[in-house]
Amino acid sequence: MARYFMELAYNGSHFCGWQIQPNGVSVQGLVAEALSTILRVPTSVTGAGRTDAGVHASYMVAHFDVQQPLQSPADLARHLSRFLPAEIEVFSVIPVADDSHSRFDAVARRYEYHVTIGKNPFTRGLATRLNYMPDFDAMNQAAEMLLGYKDFTSFSKLHGNAKTNLCDVTRAYWEPRGNRWVFIIEANRFLRNMVRAVVGTLLEVGRGKLDIDGFGKVIECKHRGAAGTSVAAEGLYLVDVVYPTDIFQPTHKRFNES
């Protein structure tokens, strides 16, 4: 057996998410189907994460196995990109150790959430439109508090199946980027729906509906009902997956802006 890591990106607007679902077109399903067709043998794909319906990835890593080493992994990457829909691009196919795992070996992931102030036809489906100007300074003060906590139950999906709600957040802040504002958050792991719930609660701070101390109390109460409404999926991007250098060294992050 030979194992390969794949670097790819996708616009998630028209997919039911990364993970294969019984009723819907998934990124994982399309990539596995393409691999199986090109290699002429059923081939499954395991991703570094499970982005939800409508969520994008400017950088995702996945792995797959083949019985015999590929003659030209680079040719396979190009063939896959031509075979897949325009919304998905495969950057590279790289050989790794047989026991390397795209999900379990990742030590950090970074997400971004993009918003625009007012109507912008050129970011439709790629950023969330706000009809007001939030206080980004206040939101940054609140976001910094995330680094001082470990239990993020208040931002987890209700009745989720996570074994633990503990995460180590190492970066969390808003920055202006062209005609957008972008929230950047990095952690060793994320709970399902966590980023969208965090952003929704930060926007409560930005609108003056919740003060900074109140944001800390939301985290401390460990109850999803205390946090704000989750924001739309369209503004969310997985932008980086980090591995120990002895496991995998990235070769292509063309769409990773930060």
**Cα separation, 53 vs 20, whole angstroms:** 11
Q: Fill in the amino acid letter for 248.
A: F
**Cα separation, 180 vs 255, whole angstroms:** 16
DSSP single-letter state for residue 178: T
User: Is position 52 annotated as part of the catalytic site?
Assistant: yes
| Below-50 pLDDT ranges, the chain | 257-258
Which domains, from first to last, does the chain contain?
2-105 (3.30.70.580), 108-238 (3.30.70.660)
Per-residue confidence (pLDDT) for residue 159, from 0 to 100: 64
Q: In which residue are the tokens 């109850």 written?
A: 223
Helix, coil or strand: residue 19: coil
Per-residue confidence (pLDDT) for residue 258, from 0 to 100: 42
Per-residue confidence (pLDDT) for residue 119, from 0 to 100: 87
Q: Fill in the amino acid letter for 58.
A: S
Catalytic choice (52, 65, 75, 168)? 52
Q: Is the pTM of this model over 0.85?
A: yes
Q: Which residues make Cβ contacts (< 8 Å) with residue 171, sequence separation at least 6?
A: 110, 147, 184, 185, 186
